[in-house]
Amino acid sequence: MSNNDIRATVKGKREIRVRSSLSIAKRLSELTNIDMDQAETGAVLVYNDVTTDWKATRTLNQQNVDGGEF
């Protein structure tokens, strides 16, 4: 089976068994586009649209914040 196969077997009129090879990541570090090398308490994930990756960091240097009106 490939990574996204789903197979079903029908036995009788009321029994269907489904088997899948699909795996689900249980940790962010298991995902391929997340760099957790600098993960630490207080870190956030920041998206880079050039590399299309997320990186854990505590340094925020390209954010524009609009605080609204008070």
Render pLDDT for 7-60 as a digit per residue (tens, 0 to 9): 777 777 777 777 766 677 788 778 888 988 888 999 999 998 999 999 999 988
Residue 46's domain comprises 22-61
- Answer yes or no: is 69 within a domain: no
Closest CA to 62 of 44, 37, 38: 44
- Answer yes or no: is 10 within a domain: no
Q: What is the pLDDT at residue 4?
A: 62
Q: Is the pLDDT of residue 1 over 70?
A: no
- The structural domain count of the chain equals 1
Amino acid in the structure at residue 3: N
Q: Is the pLDDT of residue 5 over 90?
A: no
Global pTM exceeds 0.75:
no
